[in-house]
Amino acid sequence: MPRVALVWGQDAGVGSPCSDGPGHDDEHGGWFNAVMPDGVDDRKELYGHAHVLLAGSSVAQAGFAEGERLAREASELIDRHYWVEADGAGLDSLDRTFANPDPYRGLNGNMHLTEAYLAAYEAFGDDVFLDRALRLARRLSGPAASGEYRLVEHFDQGWTPVRDYNREVPNHPFRPYGSRVGHWLEWAKLDLQLYGITGQEWLLDAARTLVEGAFADGWHEPGFVYTVDWDGTPVVDARFFWPMAEATGALHALVLATGEDRWQELYGRVWQQAQAHFVDHERGGWHSEVDGDGRPVLVTWDGKPDLYHVFQATLYPRLSLDQGLAAALTSGR
């Protein structure tokens, strides 16, 4: 649910639908993982709180005081309950009272925390946010700078990689076995934004390697396979919508960073396949998943996805290298 708040905030600066609504836990603070007709999933996840920080920071950049209040609350909760300074990363999940941390450590929630910290840095100018974003990028995407682009997704509580995690459940909807190609593309986009801000060359090296790896291992038209094994063999060959959307952002940023025509050509190829197979030209939005022949299927999820990835894909061409989406929209650059 916090992800939906981000889209609302970027759309028109209308504030966040979950700042004081049913998604907020008025007793213990923070936000529930999900609100459903029959109740709530009351786990408190880093993933969701990162998106609230991202939403609040985006709305704050549009000039709305509600955004700053939301971002400050989320940032303070992350500081108090999730961020582990010695690790330079965050815990993944806690119970409703912010106790009983899951021993699992993951790439996904911390990747979106990186995204959120970059937005908070743009909104409030606090170097702590930028420093944390860099530390997260170094820990989780840094191996790509030396050629190791099949990023580890799952770790134990000491941040030791667990490469066999969920081998028996390879298509787990939240923690699948192997490495997710779409995450390589998301990290490439974040690394390039950090490169635009800091000029640190390892970030450009990592981003280039991640995108090259995504096309080498994962590109099987009409899209990217979902996960691969550690030798690059596809594990779950479903083609989801969101890696396509994230690829457009990473490729646009590589064009800006390098000026190389090959990235522009790939950008056009991804959009061609997206238009042909993922965009729902009849009802709007994008299909969540297509099969190997490009036909929409409902295997992993029912119904249409939210607009978080696809809305951003339409905005990436407005970005400069050193900006996030909210900053680009606010500045009009």
| Separation between Cα atoms, residue 303 and residue 289, nearest integer Å | 10
φ/ψ (deg, to 5) at 236: -110, 115
Q: How would you class 59 by CB atoms within 10 Å of its CB: exposed for 0-12, middle for 13-18, buried for 19 or more?
A: buried
Residue 296 is classified by DSSP as B
Is 90:113 a contact under the CB 8 Å cutoff?
yes
Question: What element of type H or E holds 257?
Answer: helix 241-258
Task: Find where tokens 């993933």 sit.
Answer: 47
pLDDT given for residue 8 in this prediction: 46
91 contacts: CB under 8 Å, gap ≥ 6: 46, 81, 82, 84, 101, 102, 105
pLDDT given for residue 13 in this prediction: 45
Catalytic residues: 183, 309
pTM of model > 0.85: yes
Is 255:263 a contact under the CB 8 Å cutoff?
yes
Q: Which alpha helices (H) appear in 85-234, and where do they start and end?
A: 107-124, 127-140, 181-198, 201-213
| Separation between Cα atoms, residue 230 and residue 162, nearest integer Å | 12
Domains and CATH numbers, the chain: 1-135 (1.50.10.20), 141-333 (1.50.10.10)
pLDDT given for residue 14 in this prediction: 43
In the chain, what is the greatest distance between 2 CA atoms, to the nearest angstrom? 54
Residues in a beta bridge with 106: 154
Task: Return per-residue pLDDT of the chain as tens, 333 residues.
Answer: 455 455 545 544 444 545 678 899 999 999 999 999 998 999 999 999 999 999 999 999 999 999 999 999 999 999 999 999 999 999 999 999 999 999 999 999 999 999 999 999 999 999 999 999 999 999 999 999 999 999 999 999 999 999 999 999 999 989 999 999 999 999 999 999 999 999 999 999 999 999 999 999 999 999 999 999 999 999 999 999 999 999 999 999 999 999 999 999 999 999 999 999 999 999 999 999 999 999 999 988 888 888 999 999 999 999 999 999 999 988 876
Question: What element of type H or E holds 47?
Answer: helix 46-61
